[in-house]
Structure 1
Amino acid sequence: MKKTILTGILSLTYFLSFSTYAANNHDDYTLEQVVVFSRHGLRAPLASPTSTLGKITPNQWPQWDTPASYLTTRGGALESYFGHYFSEWLADNKLLTADKCPNEKDVYIYTNSLQRTIATGQFFIVGAFPGCIFPIVHKEKLGQMDPLFFPVIRDDSVEFKQAAIASINQNANVNGITGLNKKLNNAYQNMAKIIDYQKSTNCINDKQCDFVALPTELIIEKGKEPGITGPLRTGTSIADAFILQYYEGVPLKKVAWGKIKDEQQFKQLVAIKENYNTVLFGSPIVAKHVAANLVNYINQAFANNESTTKFTLLVGHDSNIASLFSTMQIQSYHLPNQFETTPIGGKVVFQKWRDNRSGEHLMKIEYFYQSTEQIRNLSPLNRNNPPQKVTLTMTNCPTNEKGFCSFSTFKQVMDGIIK
């Protein structure tokens, strides 16, 4: 990989959807409540010499400073930087007070019960409210998925399985998963060359020597996440490992064993992972099913009462965001300076505002995220170096020129999803 890799898609164009300091640098609006859904921070990949991925390449996967899937040391630092920025943003918008520990009833941190999600919440608190003590709420034993964050199938009927598989195929391609695999054929071939698949244990011992032809099957089973076998699933795990290496600051000559030579090649590999997440968790029927608990939780968090928590942080996974966006009908969006649509550590920020002139309540949804170079360079976030921000739009809750949609309409849409 050359030093110039990704410069085209990761140009340092400065992108902000509002002002640097606050969403509104005047007194026309008041921020009343924020609910954030965050993907966990930078973690170690699932690839290791003894893992399933260890059998698909003769090359040695690198060792990391934490066990597979755990938040890395760099991931913790990056999350604390994000927390620091949020403390400034919340103070600038007068939701919380600067340089003072918030009241415990004003801040609520709730994470999935995996190490990487819990640790993300812990490091966020360290950056946002240093010296303050806040509980990190997780409701299951360490390593066990919380139902709120577990995008699991709960219906074992034949009718649902058939509808879910049809929805996934329709979302994948006009010719279903088969058509998507054909579309990604060049990416799969490129992946096979990078991992030297012909010399892998899979090929030599198991005689599965055609990476593109790995058996593909959609899996919809009660109690499990929607799944798929074949090159899309395996390619996603490999691409994920390469992306995480890049984020972790691994020297370019060592990312993917130095076999990715240009940005186009990298984009091609990332497309495998992007399609996997969108196809499996963004298919309408599956998404509405697996995101039901999360949609209900966010909707209830915005219930009108005096005891409402001012700032709520939920920490889960990219699969949660994909299903949430599909269910809420978030319109197509682009994240400048990133090659992922649900980047590591990225935060979906739901903001309830009041128009001080009319008294109307408004909803604004933004994606706060670190650019790829901010992650790779371990860049501190603050007012002078903020995260990237993109305003999101719900199809059924149109926004004005400032990115606001009617809060009452937002609630109606969310209520309709839950019914």
Structure 2
Amino acid sequence: MAATFMALLCLVALSKGIDIDSLKLEQVLILSRHNVRTPLTAKLESYSSKLWPKWNASAGYLTEKGTRLEGYMGKYIAEWLDSEDFIEGCPNKDDVLIYANTKPRTLDTAKAFAESAFQSCNITVQHYENIEIFDPLFLPILHNTTEANKNQVREEMENKLKEMNLTDSYIELSRILNLRTSDICKKLYLCELHLRRNEIILEDGEEPNVSGPLDIGNSIVDSFIMSYYEGMPTSEVAWGQIKTDQQWDLISKICKENQNIRFNLTKGAKDIARPLVKYMFDIFKAGTPKFTLLVGHDSNMNSVIRAFDFQPFVLPEQFEPFPIGGKVIFQKWSDVSGQYLKVEYVYPTTKQLRDGERVSLLQPPKKVLLELKGCEISKSGYCPWTEFMKLNEYA
């Protein structure tokens, strides 16, 4: 009865408009993607006879600039928390959880954030006990491996492939690479990306994947994007062949479709994200810790966002659908009438990343308000906490 009464109070408050000045921030949970890293694929030389840029670290590692940029984001979040009187001084250890996947780029991102957001507070980054393997919490695989479920996922992926139209993107990428002069063309006769077929790969214990031009193109464009973020001279970013935002938009569609087909799945996403979403809801239910940062990958951002069933949204001034260093921030607020949820996607723009800009409350990163389909928001972006918790399918 009491819960019903509180829900009614929340709905009344939303209908009248929430008094923002009376709200108090109670809990924050952030799902983050790691910051700028080296390209994931080290052996791209076969796809172009041109000289590829050199990196100072192995494939898939956080760069020095990525560490610095994450430090800026940590400092910005700390400023925001301080402005809301959320944490004063060094927090109690039980009040803060910073947990990262076992990959060096996620661990280093979490450390950079912790050292800047909670400077001199000796906050330890936590991780899975076996650092040699991918943390099962973040591993984006199908957990329901029945043939019926796999067939359903495969069918949706196949339908997405049929709807996909990347011909212009593949042609532009082949031009940038001068693919006809490459070793892959000479030896394996892969001379035009748009003329090759994609094949879906669903194997137990492995990420849903697509082999073919989509996978190849994604790896190549990813290397271009990372070199752009890293601040390399424009002559070294795709050999100076990308000169306009329209070109970036065209080739980055390959990365967007790669994410869309593999993880933006109607039912598959809930299965893929199940361990991570359950972990998040356990924190929401407990009400502790006060502050949580979970550092994973774009696959985690994609599948979790789809699993929560957010309304469609657009992230302006970005090439990527789930930007490097971006953070989905779940916020629990309260007033005398009840408790509310607000969710925002906070992320650096491509310019802020490339220029290495320091973000702050005065010069903030980009911020986009998100809305859950099952929890209608007020004009100021809040929905009743009780309604949000009813969406929990992982109890």
Instruction: Give the TM-score normalised by the residue count of structure 2.
Output: 0.92
Structure 2 gap segments, 5+ residues each:
1-17
Distance 1:304 1:112, change over 3 A: closer
Structure 1 gap segments, 5+ residues each:
1-23
Partners of 2:278 and 2:269 lie apart in 1 by: 13
Partners of 2:177 and 2:144 lie apart in 1 by: 38
> C-alpha displacement at 1:140, in angstroms?
4.2
Partners of 1:377 and 1:403 lie apart in 2 by: 31
Contact 1:213 1:230 in 2 (8 A): no
Partners of 2:129 and 2:171 lie apart in 1 by: 41
Match of 2:304 in 1: 324
Specify the SS of the correspondent of 1:350.
strand
User: More displaced, 250-259 or 106-115?
Assistant: 250-259
Match status 1:35 vs 2:29 = yes
> C-alpha displacement at 1:212, in angstroms?
1.8
> C-alpha displacement at 1:255, in angstroms?
0.8
Structure 1 moving runs of 4+ over 6 Å: none
Match status 1:62 vs 2:53 = yes
Match of 1:188 in 2: 170
> C-alpha displacement at 1:142, in angstroms?
3.4
Match status 1:361 vs 2:339 = yes
Match of 1:255 in 2: 237
> C-alpha displacement at 1:26, in angstroms?
6.1
**Letter in structure 2 aligned against 1:284:** T
The Cα RMSD (Å) is: 1.6
> C-alpha displacement at 1:143, in angstroms?
4.6
Partners of 2:267 and 2:19 lie apart in 1 by: 41
> C-alpha displacement at 1:282, in angstroms?
0.5
Partners of 2:340 and 2:286 lie apart in 1 by: 13
How many matched pairs?
378
Partners of 2:245 and 2:79 lie apart in 1 by: 35
Partners of 2:150 and 2:94 lie apart in 1 by: 42
> C-alpha displacement at 1:159, in angstroms?
1.3
Aligned-residue identity in percent = 37
Distance 1:324 1:26, change over 3 A: closer
**Letter in structure 2 aligned against 1:228:** V
What whole-Å deviation, never above 9, does each CA across 1:51-82 have from its counterpart, x for those lacking one?
2x222221232111221100000000000000
Specify the SS of the correspondent of 2:188.
coil
Match of 1:178 in 2: 162
**Letter in structure 1 aligned against 2:323:** P
**Letter in structure 2 aligned against 1:103:** N
> C-alpha displacement at 1:336, in angstroms?
2.2
Distance 1:210 1:405, change over 3 A: same
> C-alpha displacement at 1:144, in angstroms?
1.9
Partners of 2:189 and 2:157 lie apart in 1 by: 30
Superposition map of 1:228-377 within 5 A: 228-304=210-286, 308-356=288-336, 358=337, 360-377=338-355
Distance 1:217 1:26, change over 3 A: closer
Specify the SS of the correspondent of 1:362.
strand
Distance 1:131 1:25, change over 3 A: farther
Contact 2:158 2:200 in 1 (8 A): no
User: More displaced, 71-80 or 207-216?
Assistant: 207-216
Contact 2:69 2:356 in 1 (8 A): yes
Partners of 2:382 and 2:145 lie apart in 1 by: 40
Distance 1:342 1:370, change over 3 A: same
Contact 1:155 1:222 in 2 (8 A): no
What whole-Å deviation, never above 9, does each CA across 1:224-274 have from its counterpart, x for those lacking one?
000001111111111111111111111122210111132211110011101
Contact 2:224 2:238 in 1 (8 A): yes
**Letter in structure 1 aligned against 2:128:** K
Partners of 1:235 and 1:26 lie apart in 2 by: 46
Partners of 2:228 and 2:172 lie apart in 1 by: 18
Superposition map of 1:19-168 within 5 A: 27-48=21-42, 51=43, 53-97=44-88, 100-168=89-157
Match of 1:378 in 2: 356
